Structure 1
Amino acid sequence: MTVTLGYATATGTDQDLDEQLAELAGAGVDRRRIFTDRTTGSADKLRAGLVALLSYARSGDVVTVVALERLGRSTAEVTKTVADLTTRGITLRCLENGLDTATSSGRMVARILADLAALDGDR
């Protein structure tokens, strides 16, 4: 059974999760299946909501985010997360730019991001 999951994160006090939650709900994500984080301070801080989402998601599931950068604090972290989801057979949908790894063009973008993540891992 395919499950649609969402992830939203806000940093500091200047960003509000409510707008992201509304966008995810408007895209059909059940509010009970949206994982969230609110972070302040160090970039090294563990994001428990993202870790829980990645642990919960199974092959065939769909992960929806408002913006791709929500999946990490750096390009390397985002590309690694996208590569992980793709390798595990989890579809990624990004509302802001229309990325959908269920489509051929979305899979191509995910492959490029996975290749970039592999290059970063070769260091």
Structure 2
Amino acid sequence: MGKLIAYARVSTRQQDADRQVSDLQAAGVRRDDIYVDSGVSGGRASRPQFDRAVAALEPGDTLVITTLDRLGRSTQNMLAFAEALRGRDAGLRVLNLGGGDVDTATPMGSMVFTVMAALAQMELEIKRERITDSVAKRRAAGKDLGGRRQTFTDSQIRNALRLIDGGEPATQVARDLGMSRATLYRRIRELPQATTI
């Protein structure tokens, strides 16, 4: 019986992998054999801890992950990876795949893995399609798309300062510019001294 090596991943630094680690330990993986990438997208080819986990696999060992999306995004890549593990005489075990625990070392597990990998990629493509459609609709309706706020020139900030000096409420001037009052005041303080009124 080989060793269990596990991999966990979270896409942003604000998330934590505690639940994945707990599930992996409950499946029998020792804490020292769990590799965790934080703030790393599943779409990236290089994931440092993933690479270390794979390098740690010896013949007869099994790589354990909690869900299929921890492994990657593309069906083709996931299937090629599972095949590469088989070629190294190592297995792949997914704890929550199709409602159960799937081990690709068995014929049934391999088939379920293949089907679920294809479904995971289809789900990702549908999600991308929805986002693209939503952005197009918001753009057509003239709505805010979010993202980085526009930057304002010193000239625009000076004009805002003139309006405030002329009696306009600072809150209204800031709102018209699309920024908070605190941001407007900060930008006014940052103006070069020679140009402030």
Q: Which residue of 2 aligns with 1:67?
A: 67
Provide the secondary structure at the position in 1 that maps to 2:8. strand
Q: Which residue of 2 aligns with 1:87?
A: 87
User: 2 CA distance for matches of 1:88 and 1:29?
Assistant: 20
Q: Which residue of 1 aligns with 2:9?
A: 9
User: 1 CA distance for matches of 2:63 and 2:41?
Assistant: 26
Provide the secondary structure at the position in 1 that maps to 2:80. helix
Distance 1:49 1:69, change over 3 A: same
Greater shift, 63-72 or 8-17, is seen at: 8-17
- Bigger share in helix: 2
The structure with the largest alpha-carbon Rg is 2
Q: Which residue of 1 aligns with 2:105?
A: 102
Q: 2:37–2:50: 8 Å Cα contact kept in structure 1?
A: yes
Query: Which one-letter code corresponds to 1:94 in the other structure?
Result: V
Using the aligned pairs only, state the percent identity.
32
Q: Which residue of 1 aligns with 2:33?
A: 33
User: 1:24-46 CA deviation, whole Å, 9 max, x = no partner?
Assistant: 00111001001111125794462
Gaps of 5+ in 2: 119-197
Gaps of 5+ in 1: 117-123
Length, aligned pairs only? 113
- Bigger share in strand: 1
Q: 1:71–1:81: 8 Å Cα contact kept in structure 2?
A: no
Query: Which one-letter code corresponds to 1:16 in the other structure?
Result: D
Query: Which one-letter code corresponds to 1:19 in the other structure?
Result: R
